[in-house]
């Protein structure tokens, strides 16, 4: 029995990249609206057949609305198509966005043990999320609420619990 071969992409989302750096975001990112924006881009750029063939394993596995970091799962066969569609997403709702790929599991053939590994992806996402939250705390300063800090801790725990 052969399991599904997946790739995991760790991506950051830049909301309205042309605006000044502000703490208040114009839109709250959710698993639903990020997934919908990617599916809409797949449909627009690759048609119904391209969308349908990609939906088998496509999933936004994790999203942190504070640090704007997400993990996206795609099949090995379709990850380049999904990655292409993600780069063509220009907005979520009415808010302009840009996606930046930070890590792709299975990108190096010499690391064959790493191919499609969510473990490697989790480690990269955890490290990046922690660094981005430190930066967020510096920007916010004394306005950081206990509620936001607790939400961030919950997000870090979610990364640690991710599985296929």
Q: Say if CB 79 and CB 9 are below 8 A apart.
A: yes
Give the 3-state secondary structure of residue 116.
coil
Q: Say if CB 12 and CB 101 are below 8 A apart.
A: no
pTM: 0.83
Domain boundaries, the chain: 6-161
pLDDT digits (tens, 9 = 90+) for 26-60: 788 999 999 999 999 999 999 999 999 999 889 99
Provide the pLDDT for residue 130.
87
Is residue 110 over pLDDT 50? no
Q: Which CATH superfamily is domain 6-161 in?
A: Ribonuclease P, Pop5 subunit (3.30.70.3250)
Label residues 84-112 b or e (16+ Cβ within 10 Å = b): ebbeebeebeebbbebeebbbbbeeeeee
How far is residue 50's CA from residue 3's CA, in Å, rounded to a whole number? 22
How is residue 37 written in tokens? 């924006």
Element (H, E) at 15: strand 6-15
């Amino acid at each position: 029995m052969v399991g599904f071969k997946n790739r995991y992409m760790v991506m950051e989302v830049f909301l309205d990249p042309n605006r000044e750096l502000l703490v208040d975001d114009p839109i709250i990112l959710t698993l639903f609206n990020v997934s919908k924006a990617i599916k809409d881009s797949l449909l627009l750029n690759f048609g119904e057949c391209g969308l349908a063939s990609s939906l088998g394993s496509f999933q936004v596995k994790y999203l942190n609305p504070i640090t704007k970091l997400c993990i996206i799962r795609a099949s090995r066969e379709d990850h380049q198509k999904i990655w292409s569609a993600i780069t063509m997403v220009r907005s979520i709702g009415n808010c302009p966005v840009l996606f930046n790929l930070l890590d792709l599991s299975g990108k190096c053939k010499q690391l064959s043990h790493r191919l499609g590994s969510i473990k490697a992806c989790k480690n990269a996402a955890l490290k990046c999320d922690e660094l981005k939250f430190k930066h967020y705390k510096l920007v916010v300063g004394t306005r950081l609420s206990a509620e936001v800090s607790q939400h961030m801790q919950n997000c870090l725990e979610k990364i640690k619990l991710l599985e296929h």
